[in-house]
């Protein structure tokens, strides 16, 4: 019988350390790239918008493949190739940015497309960054959405999810502060500071991989791919894609992933993805570039980003206790409503600043309200993740989560497309109000979903795959292990299923 991992075990330490090291490098890199582009083109949002647009279009187009790779191939091999792609692309992108920084200012003159050499460097940077993001996405999806659910169960799974999210938010604080400190308070030049950041990011992949290899070696039984009992949706989908050629046909891969996805709680995912259709993010490329162009210094940008992460961390830490008191779904509703309200107020203050009504003060209030909104966003993220984990069968999680990633990237692509169309900073107000409309629309969609779905929790004695209140649920690896061991004792294995099910209409309900 498989033993359950404890959240304070050596395995947990390896996973959390690997996540910490690589996430610190990621966040430093994510912060330094838009600053570098803003330095090169201070009065235009076009280069950072194109940068974000191309990288996220790539994820949107290929996320179905990433999900299928995760579901189909050996877990360690997927991670190995993903990390190798990341490290290689970071090395190339670092060299490209270095050359861009060292082009004489008079040759660019605020326009990265001013000469052929800088244009070629930028286009190559776009391709390299897009490929690097593919590697990042497949590693993140694999470890966070596939490895951890196999290694932990019930409350230990929840603890590990919270700790991983906590590291993400902590690095949102530490990464920009490190960059801001190097750029603002040290005696080194911006070019030298950039070298240190790029080198750390590149080197961070090696301990990450070694730690993940250690985890895999110690838990080969849990993480090795093995045949699983398929639910009806898997059998139904697989029968339509039996051909080996069709297996990797772009249209068939997309069709297969979407056919799995539409059987899941779709409105929940749609509401979450619409929260990504915003420029009002302290760590977003477009907002960072806009504020940099308005004269906000690097240290203040680092503080803005760090305070946004602190606000999100407070939301993440508060969510468990709030959900215990008033319920998971109610807490999620309050959190997404808080974000919508704060950003509505932020848009009002930005509009006042735009029309030169106490512009300096209003811009500071705008930034403060954006920071406060992160409390609701990150707290809602914990609720959405928990609800989604309860609703997705284990053996299709790669492809279903890839569709969520696709939708989130589609929302982000929409933002970058809008920023590219209205690239002058004077038009930024249109992006602000579009973001507010999207966020509050997401809240309304979630309110609708909340009225249609409910959480069911039942214990039962196994009977292979069982139908619980009309919901077909596969046994996960821990439950199958319990079933196998139960054949040697008198009483059969008993375990608990938690899942989402649509509410049954009452006679007085209105459709």
For 212-265, the DSSP string reads HHHHHHHTHHHHS-------HHHHHHHHTT-STTGGG-HHHHHHHHHHHHTTS-
More confident residue, 496 or 302: 302
Contact between 438 and 74 under an 8 Å Cβ cutoff? The reply is: no
- Quick one: tokens of 413? 């692509």
What is the structure's pLDDT at 468? Answer: 46
pLDDT of 434 above 80:
yes
pLDDT of 206 above 90:
yes
| Vertex 192: Cα angle to 186 and 197 (nearest 5) | 90
What is the structure's pLDDT at 207? Answer: 94
At 242, the pLDDT band (50, 70, 90 cuts) reads very low
- Rounded average pLDDT over 337-356: 91
Q: Residue 16, Cβ neighbours under 10 Å: how many?
A: 17
Bridge-based pairing of strands 494-502 and 453-461 is antiparallel
More confident residue, 478 or 429: 429
What is the structure's pLDDT at 240? Answer: 44
Residue carrying the six token digits 């902590």:
170
What is the structure's pLDDT at 29? Answer: 86
What is the structure's pLDDT at 345? Answer: 95
Q: In this predicted model, what pLDDT tens digit does every residue of 445-504 receive, in sequence order?
A: 999 888 876 666 655 555 544 444 444 444 544 445 444 444 433 344 555 555 566 666
Q: In percent, how much of the chain has pLDDT > 70?
A: 73
pLDDT of 376 above 90:
yes
Give the bridge partners for 501, in sequence order: 454
- Quick one: tokens of 210? 């070694």
pLDDT of 33 above 60:
yes
What is the structure's pLDDT at 88? Answer: 95
Mean residue pLDDT across the chain:
77
What is the structure's pLDDT at 226? Answer: 57
At 436, the pLDDT band (50, 70, 90 cuts) reads very high
Rounded Cα gap, residues 438 and 449, in angstroms: 16
Residue from 255, 282, 504, 493 nearest 375 by CA: 282
Q: Indicate the range of 9-23, 72-86, 291-305 predicted with least confidence.
A: 291-305
Instruction: Please provide the DSSP assignment of 276-316 as one string.
Output: TS-S--TT-HHHHHHHHHTT--HHHHHHHHHHHHHHHHHHH
- Rounded average pLDDT over 10-14: 89
At 441, the pLDDT band (50, 70, 90 cuts) reads very high
Rounded Cα gap, residues 440 and 338, in angstroms: 10
- Rounded average pLDDT over 4-29: 82
More confident residue, 229 or 145: 145
pLDDT of 119 above 70:
yes
Give the bridge partners for 288, in sequence order: none
Q: Find the helix packing angle between 298-326 and 154-184, rounded to 10°.
A: 160
At 139, the pLDDT band (50, 70, 90 cuts) reads very high
Residue from 62, 436, 28, 18 nearest 206 by CA: 18
Instruction: Please provide the DSSP assignment of 83-124 as one string.
Output: HHHHHHHHHHHHHHHHHHHTS-HHHHTT-TTSSHHHHHHHHH
In this structure, what are the phi and psi dihedrals at residue 503, rounded to the nearest 5 degrees? -65, 140
What is the structure's pLDDT at 86? Answer: 94
Residue 230 burial by Cβ neighbours in a 10 Å radius (0-12, 13-18, 19+):
middle
- The model's pTM is 0.70
Element (H, E) at 27: helix 10-40
Element (H, E) at 366: helix 359-389
- Rounded average pLDDT over 502-510: 56
SS3 270: helix
pLDDT of 202 above 70:
yes
More confident residue, 34 or 369: 369
């Amino acid at each position: 019988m498989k033993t359950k991992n404890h959240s304070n075990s050596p395995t947990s330490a390896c996973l959390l350390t690997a996540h910490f090291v690589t996430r610190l490098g990621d966040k430093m890199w994510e912060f330094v790239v838009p600053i570098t582009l803003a330095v090169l083109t201070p009065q235009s949002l076009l280069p950072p918008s194109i940068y974000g647009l191309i990288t996220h279009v790539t994820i949107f187009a290929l996320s179905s493949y990433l999900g299928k790779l995760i579901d189909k191939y050996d877990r360690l091999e997927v991670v190995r190739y993903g990390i190798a792609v990341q490290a290689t692309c970071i090395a190339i992108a670092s060299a490209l940015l270095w050359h861009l920084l060292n082009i004489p200012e008079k040759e660019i003159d605020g326009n990265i497309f001013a000469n052929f050499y800088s244009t070629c460097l930028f286009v190559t940077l776009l391709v390299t960054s897009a490929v690097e993001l593919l590697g990042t996405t497949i590693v993140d999806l694999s470890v966070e959405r596939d490895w951890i659910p196999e290694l932990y169960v019930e409350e230990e799974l929840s603890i590990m999810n919270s700790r991983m999210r906590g590291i993400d938010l902590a690095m949102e604080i530490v990464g920009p502060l490190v960059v801001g400190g190097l750029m603002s308070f040290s005696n080194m030049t911006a070019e030298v500071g950039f070298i240190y950041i790029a080198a750390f990011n590149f080197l961070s992949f090696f301990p990450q991989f070694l730690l993940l290899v250690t985890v895999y070696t110690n838990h080969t039984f849990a993480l090795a791919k093995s045949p699983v009992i398929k639910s009806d949706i898997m059998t139904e989908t697989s029968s339509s894609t039996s051909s080996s050629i069709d297996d990797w046909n772009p249209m068939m891969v997309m069709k297969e992933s979407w056919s799995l996805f539409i059987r899941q709680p779709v409105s929940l995912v749609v509401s979450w993805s619409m929260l990504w259709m915003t420029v009002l993010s302290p760590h977003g490329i477009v907002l960072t570039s806009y504020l940099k162009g308005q004269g906000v210094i690097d240290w203040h940008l680092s503080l803005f980003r760090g305070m946004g992460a602190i606000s999100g961390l407070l939301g993440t830490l508060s969510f468990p206790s709030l959900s215990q008191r008033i319920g998971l779904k109610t807490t999620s509703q309050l959190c997404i409503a808080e974000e919508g309200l704060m950003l509505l107020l932020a848009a009002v203050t930005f509009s006042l600043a735009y029309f030169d009504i106490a512009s300096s003060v209003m811009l500071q209030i705008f930034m403060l309200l954006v920071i406060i909104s992160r409390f609701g966003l990150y707290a809602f993220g914990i609720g959405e993740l928990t609800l989604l984990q309860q609703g997705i069968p284990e053996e299709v999680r790669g492809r279903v989560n890839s569709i969520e990633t696709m939708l989130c990237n589609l929302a982000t692509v929409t933002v970058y497309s809008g920023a590219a169309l209205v690239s002058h900073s004077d038009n930024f107000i249109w992006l602000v109000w579009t973001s507010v409309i999207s966020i509050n629309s997401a809240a309304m969609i979630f309110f609708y979903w909340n009225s249609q779905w409910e959480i069911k929790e039942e214990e039962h004695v196994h009977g292979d795959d069982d139908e619980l209140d009309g919901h077909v649920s596969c046994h996960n690896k821990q439950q199958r292990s319990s079933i196998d061991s139960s054949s040697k004792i008198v009483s059969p294995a008993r375990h608990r299923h938690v899942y989402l099910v649509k509410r049954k209409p009452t006679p007085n309900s209105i459709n």
